[in-house]
């Protein structure tokens, strides 16, 4: 180690989220009001305001993040997305065969949209007046999001953890803060460990649900008309179907099961990625507890359903607060030494599409 | 007027404590020790705080500044945006509970009206603008599946079948696209007396229903009801409505409920969905019109409905809990009106 680093006492800087549910509820509901009144046009502004609330209340070393996206850019992207959706649907209705080249085209379009949306998000995120940036060649995006995915059936899914690893590496390595580069130092074996563990839990819990269902429904089977949804003239007929209670139970357990898988996996991956990311001589530490995450997801969903959506703001704040509380920045130098990079203006087309599709390509 | 602030020069992440001064000529000075940099009003953007966050200044040099002092912000905001300012209105609304309650009420009413009236009418106009063969995709393989699972061959004698077919031909000859419709006879122990329409236009009637009917016109009435479902494209409309509700749900709940979990439960959700009340009424209305145009009484459908109802018995109170099927007495009342 050189003298410069030993001179500096490594500092642990926690990530702090200071938003509160009451305040955010008001912002959220007023956003919805204007979105309704403008028949959806305000959605872009609402989205920016929403993002800004979370960015502006997330602090590192007493400075908060900024979200600088222009709502008009988002609106443009929205229009493009609607047009693409319409064209696809029209093709599907009038010329179904044309959807095949569309699907092939999509395989090349998807990585491009991922790349562009990462660029958009990074470019519009700033900390202490210095913007982030994302920069990666299209080829790497294609490989991480499509190329490896093509191999999934041939490897019986065994390549999935490797694919996720490559996607996270792509994500971290592509970012920079000013002129400083982020670097991902992890290996793929950790991802295999996590997927193995999650699969075992999934099999265990999945078979438990299946057994309970089988026990409870041993004398019943699926409603034939429910499977085809034809219109029965005689619905009063005691149909030999799943009674509503059983159906609701099945529905609920599928949702619970999915929430478990998603949150458990996400928490583990979040930890791995954070703990192996470096920014110059700084690194991160994440201590997210996967079971706490599972609990937050499940109880949030329950709260949202029971409150008919009114607790959406509360659950978002709760999630953001827990996420932030898990992360610490370990700085071996002052945060003052990052230098802005001259951002060259680039073709903005497509960047806003990712924001529209809300691609969850972050951590 | 002055306040404390953090200054970033836009070149590096160095944070500098400064004082902001609002000068008499409405220009803004950033003071650090003895250094002073002055900006005219049009040389910076002012970003209002959101919630408890800081207000921010973005200078045209790329530098920026953040400060908390609400009074200083309010003063600067008035200078920068005299007259009406949307963000100011927004912030006032977000802080006042009457506006929040108003927003809540408007939202609840809009969602309710939208789901009950808006979505159905949008779904209707979309369904009718989609080419007729679309529904073929929805039910191409359905009958084969049903045959394998629930049906066996019909035992009705050929004479009676021919009579019913003739009646059916009459109905469909009144339609724009008679080729679309097919009639199938089946026996099903599990379904008992029943009839249904697949979205493609295939209409299935069971032996038990034919036997239950006390008059041929009652069967015609049932068939007309089913043709009404197909004619009004109820299946497609139902699917469209369900997808709109799904999209709405995703937009409102956003990232908290993962899309993936919902998507996987969706097929069951969709298949369970029965025809909504209004679709049944529409089909009843269609049958009523047809019967009347043939000089027949709608009473035939009413009689058949009440007989089906009795036949089914009342041992199954449970299904009416989730079912959107309207109660038979109500349907009969509408028919004979």
Count of CB pairs separated by less than 8 Å, A with B: 240
Per the CB < 8 A criterion, the answer to whether A143 and A166 are in contact is: yes
Using DSSP's 3-state secondary structure scheme, residue A186 falls into coil
A29 and chain B in contact, CB less than 8 A: yes
Q: Do A236 and B308 touch (CB under 8 A)?
A: yes
- Chain A: nearest CA to B175, how far in angstroms? 19
- CA Rg, chain B, in Å? 34
For B161, counting Cβ atoms within 10 Å of its Cβ (0-12 exposed, 13-18 middle, 19+ buried), the class is middle
For B84, counting Cβ atoms within 10 Å of its Cβ (0-12 exposed, 13-18 middle, 19+ buried), the class is exposed
* pLDDT tens track for A10-49: 889 999 999 999 999 999 999 989 988 888 788 889 889 9
Q: How distant, in Å, are the alpha carbons of A157, A301, B242, B244, B325 from that of B116?
A: 43, 24, 12, 12, 16
Give the pLDDT band of residue A170 (cuts 50, 70, 90): very high
Q: Which of A29, A250, A337 sits opposite B107 (nearest CB)?
A: A29
Mean residue pLDDT of chain A comes to: 80
The three-point CA angle A347-A352-A355 to 5° equals 155
Give residue A231's Cα distance to chain centre: 39
- Chain A: nearest CA to B71, how far in angstroms? 20
Residue B173 above 90 pLDDT? Answer: no
Q: Which of A129, A225, A301 sits opposite B63 (nearest CB)?
A: A129
Q: Do B52 and A127 touch (CB under 8 A)?
A: no
- At residue A247, the pLDDT reads 62
Question: Which residues in chain B are contacts of A64 at CB distance < 8 A?
Answer: 53-54, 66
Give the pLDDT band of residue A233 (cuts 50, 70, 90): low
- Chain B: nearest CA to A238, how far in angstroms? 6
Q: Do B273 and A229 touch (CB under 8 A)?
A: yes
Residues B44-70 have a mean pLDDT of 92
Residues A118-130 have a mean pLDDT of 89
Question: Cα–Cα distance between B49 and B78 in angstroms, integer?
Answer: 14
Q: Percentage of chain B surpassing pLDDT 90?
A: 25
CA-nearest residue to A45 within chain B is B87
**Residue A132, token pair as written in the block:** 């982030």
Q: Do A226 and B12 touch (CB under 8 A)?
A: no
* pLDDT tens track for B15-41: 899 999 999 888 999 998 888 899 999
For chain A positions 312-331, those within 8 Å of chain B (CB to CB) are 312, 315-316, 319
- At residue A344, the pLDDT reads 56
| Structural domains of chain B in order of their starting residue, each with its CATH number | 2-87 (2.30.29.30), 132-336 (no CATH)
* pLDDT tens track for A305-324: 788 778 889 999 999 999 99
Q: Give strand pairing partners of A202.
A: none
Question: Cα–Cα distance between A280 and A283 in angstroms, integer?
Answer: 8
Q: Do A304 and B253 touch (CB under 8 A)?
A: yes
Give the pLDDT band of residue A239 (cuts 50, 70, 90): very low
Exposure class string for A45-81: b at 16+ Cβ within 10 A, else e: bbbbbbbbbbbbbbbbbebbbbbbbebebbbbbbeeb
Residue A264 above 50 pLDDT? Answer: yes
- Chain A: nearest CA to B176, how far in angstroms? 20
Going through chain B in order, the beta strands assigned E by DSSP cover: 2-8, 16-22, 28-32, 35-39, 44-47, 55-59, 64-67, 182-186, 195-197, 202-206
Residue B156 above 80 pLDDT? Answer: yes
Using DSSP's 3-state secondary structure scheme, residue B243 falls into helix
- At residue A216, the pLDDT reads 62
> Around Cβ B196, how many Cβ atoms within 10 Å?
24
Measured torsion, CA atoms of residues A11, A66, A116, A40, in degrees rounded to the nearest 10: 140
| Of A158 and B322, more confident | A158
Min mean pLDDT across B57-66, B135-144, B187-196 is at B135-144
A16 and chain B in contact, CB less than 8 A: no
Q: Give strand pairing partners of A278.
A: A183, A283
Residue A100 above 90 pLDDT? Answer: no
- At residue A4, the pLDDT reads 47
* pLDDT tens track for B71-111: 999 999 999 998 899 999 999 999 999 999 999 999 889 87
Question: Which residues in chain A are contacts of B268 at CB distance < 8 A?
Answer: 247, 250-251, 254
| Non-local CB neighbours of A237 within 8 Å, separated by 6+ positions | B191, B192, B193, B194, B308, B311, B312
Please name which of B226, B322, B232 lies closest in space to residue B269, comparing C-alpha atoms. Answer: B322
- CA Rg, chain A, in Å? 24
Residues B307-316 have a mean pLDDT of 64
**Residue A41, token pair as written in the block:** 């046009």
Q: Do A32 and B103 touch (CB under 8 A)?
A: yes
For B322, counting Cβ atoms within 10 Å of its Cβ (0-12 exposed, 13-18 middle, 19+ buried), the class is middle
Q: Distance between terminal CA atoms of chain A? A: 31
For A127, counting Cβ atoms within 10 Å of its Cβ (0-12 exposed, 13-18 middle, 19+ buried), the class is buried
Q: Do A336 and B283 touch (CB under 8 A)?
A: no
- Chain B: nearest CA to A63, how far in angstroms? 9
Question: Cα–Cα distance between A73 and A66 in angstroms, integer?
Answer: 17
Q: Do A244 and B319 touch (CB under 8 A)?
A: yes
Residues B44-56 have a mean pLDDT of 92
CA-nearest residue to B9 within chain A is A129
Tell me which residue has tokens 């197909």.
B230
- At residue B328, the pLDDT reads 75
- Chain A: nearest CA to B159, how far in angstroms? 24
Min mean pLDDT across A91-105, A197-211, B214-228, B294-308 is at A91-105
| Non-local CB neighbours of A311 within 8 Å, separated by 6+ positions | A300, A303, A304
Please name which of A284, A58, A17, A328 lies closest in space to residue A172, comparing C-alpha atoms. Answer: A284
Residues A2-9 have a mean pLDDT of 54
Min mean pLDDT across A275-279, B16-20, B299-303, B318-322 is at B318-322
- Chain B: nearest CA to A225, how far in angstroms? 8
Give residue B207's Cα distance to chain centre: 37
Question: Cα–Cα distance between A263 and A294 in angstroms, integer?
Answer: 5
A36 and chain B in contact, CB less than 8 A: yes
Of the CA atoms within 13 Å of residue B272, those in its CB half-sphere come to 19
Mutate to test the interface with B, among A86, A233, A261, A336 (most CBs of B within 10 A): A233
For chain A positions 124-163, those within 8 Å of chain B (CB to CB) are 127-130
- At residue A5, the pLDDT reads 47
Mean residue pLDDT of chain B comes to: 80
Q: Do A224 and B269 touch (CB under 8 A)?
A: no
A65 and chain B in contact, CB less than 8 A: no
Q: Percentage of chain B surpassing pLDDT 70?
A: 81
Residues B129-147 have a mean pLDDT of 68
């Amino acid at each position: 180690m050189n003298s410069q680093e030993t001179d500096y006492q490594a500092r642990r800087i926690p990530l702090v989220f200071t938003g509160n549910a009451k305040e955010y509820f008001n912002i959220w509901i007023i956003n919805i009001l204007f979105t309704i009144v403008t028949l959806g046009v305000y959605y872009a502004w609402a989205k920016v305001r929403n993002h800004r609330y979370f960015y502006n209340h997330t602090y590192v070393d007493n400075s908060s993040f900024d979200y600088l996206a222009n709502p008009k850019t988002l609106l443009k992207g929205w229009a493009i997305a609607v047009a693409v959706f319409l064209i696809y649907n029209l093709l599907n209705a009038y010329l179904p065969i044309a959807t095949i080249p569309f699907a092939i085209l999509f395989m090349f379009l998807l990585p491009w949209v991922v790349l562009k949306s990462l660029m958009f998000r990074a470019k519009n995120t700033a900390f202490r007046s210095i913007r982030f940036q994302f920069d990666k060649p299209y080829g790497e995006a294609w490989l991480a999001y499509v190329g490896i995915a093509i191999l999934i059936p041939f490897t019986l899914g065994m390549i999935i953890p490797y694919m996720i690893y490559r996607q996270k590496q792509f994500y971290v390595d592509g970012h920079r803060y000013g002129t400083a580069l982020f670097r991902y130092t992890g290996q793929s074996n950790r991802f295999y460990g996590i997927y193995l563990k999650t699969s075992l839990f999934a099999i265990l819990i999945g078979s438990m649900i299946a057994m309970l269902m089988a026990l409870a429904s041993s004398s019943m089977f699926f409603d034939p008309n429910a499977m085809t949804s034809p219109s029965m003239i005689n619905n009063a007929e005691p149909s030999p179907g799943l009674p509503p209670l059983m159906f609701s139970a099945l529905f609920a357990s599928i949702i619970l099961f999915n929430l478990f898988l998603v949150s458990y996996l996400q928490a583990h991956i979040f930890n791995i990625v954070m703990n192996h990311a470096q920014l110059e001589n700084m690194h991160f530490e994440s201590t997210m507890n996967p079971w706490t995450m599972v609990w937050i997801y499940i109880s949030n969903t329950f709260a949202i359903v029971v409150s008919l959506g009114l607790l959406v703001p509360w659950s978002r704040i709760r999630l953001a607060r827990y996420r932030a509380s898990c992360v610490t920045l370990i700085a071996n130098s002052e945060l003052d030494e990052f230098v802005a990079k001259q951002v060259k203006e680039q073709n903005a087309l497509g960047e806003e599409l990712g924001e529209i599709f809300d691609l969850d390509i972050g951590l | 007027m002055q306040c404390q602030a953090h200054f970033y020069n836009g070149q590096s992440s160095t944070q500098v404590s400064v004082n902001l001064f609002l000068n008499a000529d409405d220009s803004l000075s950033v003071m650090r020790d003895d250094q002073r940099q002055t900006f005219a009003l049009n040389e910076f953007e002012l970003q209002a705080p959101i919630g408890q966050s800081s207000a921010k200044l973005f200078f045209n040099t790329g530098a920026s500044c953040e400060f908390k002092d609400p009074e200083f912000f309010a003063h600067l905001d008035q200078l920068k945006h005299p007259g009406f300012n949307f963000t100011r209105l927004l912030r006032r609304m977000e802080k006042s509970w009457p506006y929040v309650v108003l927003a809540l009420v408007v939202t609840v009413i809009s969602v309710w009206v939208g789901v009950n009236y808006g979505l159905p009418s949008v779904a209707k106009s979309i369904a009718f603008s989609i080419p007729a063969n679309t529904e073929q995709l929805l039910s191409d393989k359905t009958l084969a599946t049903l045959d394998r699972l629930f049906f066996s061959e019909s035992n009705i004698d050929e004479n009676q079948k021919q009579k019913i077919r003739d009646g059916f031909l009459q109905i469909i000859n009144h339609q724009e696209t008679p080729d679309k419709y097919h009639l199938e006879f089946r026996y099903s122990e599990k379904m008992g007396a029943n009839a249904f329409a697949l979205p493609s236009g295939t209409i299935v009637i069971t032996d038990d229903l034919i036997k239950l009917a006390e008059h041929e016109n009652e069967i015609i009435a049932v068939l007309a009801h089913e043709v009404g479902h197909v004619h009004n494209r109820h299946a497609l409309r139902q699917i469209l409505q369900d997808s709109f509700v799904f999209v709405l749900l995703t937009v409102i709940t956003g990232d908290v409920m993962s899309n993936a979990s919902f998507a996987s439960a969706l097929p069951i959700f969709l298949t369970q969905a029965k025809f909504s009340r209004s679709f049944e009424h529409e089909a009843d209305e269609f049958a009523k019109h047809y019967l009347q145009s043939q000089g027949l009484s709608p009473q035939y459908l009413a009689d058949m409905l009440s007989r089906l109802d009795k036949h089914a018995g009342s041992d199954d109170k449970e299904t009416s809990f989730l079912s959107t099927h309207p109660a038979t007495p109500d349907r009969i009342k509408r028919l004979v009106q």
